[in-house]
Structure 1
Amino acid sequence: MSALLPVEEAQARLLALRPPLAGENVAFCDALGRYLAEDVVALRDQPAAPLSAMDGYAVRCADLPGPWTIAGESAAGGPPAHALAAGEAMRIFTGAMLPEGADTVVIQEDVAAEGGRLALTTSDAIRERQHVRARASDFAAGERLLAAGTRLTPGAIAAAVMSGASQLRVGGRPRVAILTTGDELVQPGRPLAPGQIPDSNGVMLAAMLAGEPARTGLPLHVGDARARIAAALQDLARHHDVIVTVGGASVGDHDHVQGALGDAGGRVDFWKVAMKPGKPLIAGTLGDALLLGLPGNPASAFVTATLFLLPLVRHLAGAASPLPPVLSAPLAKPLGPGKTRRDYLRARLDRGALHLFDGQDSGRTFPLGGADALAIREIGAPARAAGEPADYIAIA
């Protein structure tokens, strides 16, 4: 019996099976959630000229403490009409360009204007360049604003727009097919005969992928027939980058995914990982498509999708860091010692503490409904008391 693969080695082998997809140019409105295929480098200074950070008056610091003669105004959207001479002040508004000669802004609350004259009304010290946004104080032309592999959030898109770019180069969107297997599964909402259960895994995986830059259709289903599974795999491999199967990954008489993959002309790269739940995980290739065979129990499917499917999709889409980050929080209750596989335990964060669900059987769906974290217990880890830190992965 071959040794089980450590989780990190299995993840690395899976991601090494294919490089990221080719990039494409997209409009800003289509960029949310995508991963940059190349750096975003500023094409301009921001701001492009000194700007006022407040409503008030632009003055020369050398003319303090005034008084001044008011000489026009400067509003956002265009340059001032003229330069500022000695002894002059110009009315200015937030975001407006400073007139040539000005180097300081006095806020309107600190002055009094009457009859074209301006007088200071505060005794507070006013510094040179106060309330002035210097040219290129945000970023300068040629500066890298966003690195390739960055996930595009609304804020990142705003920075890219401000850089002067007209569009973005992002990684491709992998085409993902979901194929559930098992004679016992019935489409959601349909009547159940004795021994049948609703096919929750297909819907769950589609929901998990909805937040990723992937093209995913409706989940498909085939029964426990090796020939039918092989035919479905061959067909899906022609049109998809990733085929994720659910169920049929273990060693039972009705577990046909591994054999069907061989029948279809594919190969297995690895099978079985030192984790619980989710040990009977399959990774392989079929033509240009990748196959990821997830175990059928709900918790097993969820955990393996979190640790393998989602990182694979992110990798193909160009993510620099596709794996979920590992965080830490104190345990709310004691946790027993680890055994021969790494445990991923369904848990919930409450007031900063990690509360593990009592029922961790992989066939239970109820804990999935309330979990927002997967607590990690390492192989052979010692028992821990309440309050001791534990690693976890945040989940949606």
Structure 2
Amino acid sequence: MPGLLPVEQAQERLLALASPVEPETLPIEEAAGRWLAEDVAARRTQPAADLSAMDGYAIRFAECPGPWTVVGESAAGSPLERYVEPGEAARIFTGAPMPEGADTVMVQEEAARDGDTLRMDGKGPSGVGGNVRRKGRDFAERDVLLAAGTKLTPPALALAIAGGHGALPVGRAIRVALISTGDELVPPGQPTDTAQLPASNGPMLAAQLDGLPVKIDDIGIVPDTREALAKALDAASDADIIVTIGGASVGDHDLVRPALRAAGADIDFWRIAMKPGKPLMGGRLGEAIVLGLPGNPASAFVTAKLFLEPLIAHLSGAGDPLSRFRPAPLAADLPAIGKRAEYLRGRWRDGAVEALTQQSSASLAALAEAELLIHRPAGSAAARAGDTVDILPLA
């Protein structure tokens, strides 16, 4: 569509507007959800010694099938402090260090013990090293455990801790200023007349960003005047990202672009070949990135999902900041679409996905019902039930 920028190009240009922010070092219990600013290497070996993988008896495989004399016990945190000689065995428990001299674990289900005399009562270990977790099997000292740009999920945090780390270098929290524009808006919970609307987009976006490393500054509701917008933009000048909501279209009261230009902003792009969300705008104002979202709720939500969330991840140091769609089968037919990519609000049905009936960008009821977005590239032909489409889960 002439004059409209494809979504992928707009995402690329938006992320190119700024580099990741400066890192900070956080205690590991505070680093969850952040992205690593540097590679994290192991400071220790895991396991640090050969360990038993099962409850049983540590033996020398050369003497299999025994018998052996049980000479002691090795438990996790309490190893046997003696050498296991030929003809000897040690009681051992899962996670316990292998005694020196022993090389294999016979599981207790295949052991017959009479006092200190041990015999094998079963098939026995498969070979030398059976049921043993070898030293360094998980990782060795100086191995790179996590690469820069990795998101610190709970398993990633556990890996870093196991590697000997108590603090990690991560991108700092991103400062996001939210500016809701419109004479028709009133604060949540206040009475409205027929010309007014509760201002839901700001709280919705703040909740949408919950769980990302952000500090939200909600500038509040701004009337449709250049003076009020100029004051709001000045109040947001310390932000890394300034998000305006509404006022970015072409109507007489859509004053965000003129106000931004008057404040010295450089508008990099405006109007995207997507539905919903065509009036999306991106640029810079001083050191901040400006992202102008449409005012309709579904448009604001979808564009925040596809542009604002990846931008935050990029500034935080994510190695792969863009949202990743995945394939799923269709539960019902979809018509062909035109020259704009579509992001249909949808849901699961019997292991497949279907678009909701209501796709109006103003419909909050349908948005609240949506479990996923169905991506239909520009110019897509009609799709039939059973065809594969790309989806982005919303939870």
Give the structure-1-normalised TM-score: 0.97
Match of 1:149 in 2: 149
Match of 1:185 in 2: 185
1:266 matched to 2:233? The reply is no
> What does 1:163-178 align with in structure 2 at a 5 Å threshold?
163-178=163-178
Q: Given that residues 59 and 106 in structure 1 are in contact (C-alpha distance below 8 angstroms), is that contact kept between their aligned partners in structure 2?
A: yes
Structure 1 residue matching 2:236: 3-state secondary structure = helix
Q: How far, CA to CA, are the matches of 1:240 and 1:2 in structure 2?
A: 33
Structure 1 position 194, deviation (Å): 2.2
Q: Given that residues 106 and 124 in structure 2 are in contact (C-alpha distance below 8 angstroms), is that contact kept between their aligned partners in structure 1?
A: no
Change (3 A) 1:263 1:2: farther
Q: How far, CA to CA, are the matches of 2:177 and 2:17 in structure 1?
A: 17
Q: How far, CA to CA, are the matches of 1:349 and 1:315 in structure 2?
A: 30
Q: How far, CA to CA, are the matches of 1:230 and 1:79 in structure 2?
A: 70
Match of 1:202 in 2: 202
Flag as ranges the 4+ runs of structure 1 deviating above 3 A: 123-126
Deviation string, structure 1 residues 294-349 (Cα, Å, up to 9, x no partner): 00001110111011000001100111111110111121111111101111110012
Structure 1 position 78, deviation (Å): 4.0
Structure 1 residue matching 2:95: 3-state secondary structure = coil
> What does 1:330-341 align with in structure 2 at a 5 Å threshold?
330-341=329-340
Q: How far, CA to CA, are the matches of 1:294 and 1:126 in structure 2?
A: 63
Structure 2 residue matching 1:80: 3-state secondary structure = coil
For 1:89, the aligned partner's letter is A
Match of 1:62 in 2: 62
Match of 2:299 in 1: 300
Change (3 A) 1:4 1:123: closer
Match of 2:46 in 1: 46
Structure 2 residue matching 1:261: 3-state secondary structure = helix
Structure 2 gap segments, 5+ residues each: none
1:107 matched to 2:107? The reply is yes
Structure 1 position 266, deviation (Å): 1.6
Structure 1 position 81, deviation (Å): 1.0
For 2:370, the aligned partner's letter is A
Q: Given that residues 330 and 353 in structure 1 are in contact (C-alpha distance below 8 angstroms), is that contact kept between their aligned partners in structure 2?
A: yes
Q: Given that residues 172 and 318 in structure 1 are in contact (C-alpha distance below 8 angstroms), is that contact kept between their aligned partners in structure 2?
A: no
Structure 2 residue matching 1:217: 3-state secondary structure = strand
Match of 1:322 in 2: 321
For 1:354, the aligned partner's letter is V
Q: How far, CA to CA, are the matches of 2:81 and 2:362 in structure 1?
A: 74
Structure 1 position 368, deviation (Å): 0.7
Deviation string, structure 1 residues 11-60 (Cα, Å, up to 9, x no partner): 01101101000111111110110001111111221101100111111000
Match of 2:233 in 1: 233
Structure 1 position 215, deviation (Å): 1.0
Q: How far, CA to CA, are the matches of 1:124 and 1:13 in structure 2?
A: 63
Q: How far, CA to CA, are the matches of 1:188 and 1:306 in structure 2?
A: 23
For 1:260, the aligned partner's letter is A
Match of 2:223 in 1: 223
1:250 matched to 2:259? The reply is no
For 1:392, the aligned partner's letter is I
Greater mean alpha carbon deviation, residues 376-385 or residues 204-213: 376-385
Structure 1 position 219, deviation (Å): 5.4
Structure 1 position 95, deviation (Å): 0.9
Greater mean alpha carbon deviation, residues 303-312 or residues 139-148: 139-148
> What does 1:355-394 align with in structure 2 at a 5 Å threshold?
355-394=354-393
Greater mean alpha carbon deviation, residues 14-23 or residues 330-339: 330-339
Structure 1 gap segments, 5+ residues each: none
Count of residue correspondences = 395
Q: How far, CA to CA, are the matches of 2:114 and 2:363 in structure 1?
A: 77
Q: How far, CA to CA, are the matches of 1:264 and 1:183 in structure 2?
A: 21
For 2:65, the aligned partner's letter is P
Structure 1 position 234, deviation (Å): 1.7
For 2:94, the aligned partner's letter is T
Q: Given that residues 202 and 219 in structure 1 are in contact (C-alpha distance below 8 angstroms), is that contact kept between their aligned partners in structure 2?
A: no
Structure 1 position 108, deviation (Å): 1.5
Q: How far, CA to CA, are the matches of 1:314 and 1:208 in structure 2?
A: 14
- CA-atom RMSD in angstroms: 1.3
For 1:86, the aligned partner's letter is P
Deviation string, structure 1 residues 335-379 (Cα, Å, up to 9, x no partner): 111101111110012232111011111111111111111111121
Q: How far, CA to CA, are the matches of 2:341 and 2:162 in structure 1?
A: 45
Give the structure-2-normalised TM-score: 0.97
Match of 2:344 in 1: 345
Structure 1 position 235, deviation (Å): 2.0
